[in-house]
Amino acid sequence: MVYVRGDDDAEDGLVGSAFPDCPRCGDPVLATVVTGPSEATSTPCGCRVTPPHLERE
């Protein structure tokens, strides 16, 4: 499963990354690959992180 999240502020023309920062290294996270209930990897930096809470609509 791949979770991709963008930042709504980017559409407003604000300067900066449209993606959230990695909690470990600070690089922009384009996607989070969930590999287990408590394991995930940030892409493209490769840091191991806690999976985000996925919301259902």
Q: In this predicted model, what pLDDT tens digit does every residue of 1-55 receive, in sequence order?
A: 555 555 554 455 445 668 889 989 999 989 889 988 889 999 999 999 988 765 5
For residue 14, give the H/E element and its range: none
Answer yes or no: is 14 within a domain: yes
Answer yes or no: is 55 within a domain: no
Q: What is the reported pLDDT for 46?
A: 94
Answer yes or no: is 42 within a domain: yes
Strands (E) located in the chain: 2-3, 31-36, 39-43, 48-49
Domain count, the chain: 1
Answer yes or no: is 41 within a domain: yes
Answer yes or no: is 44 within a domain: yes
Answer yes or no: is 56 within a domain: no
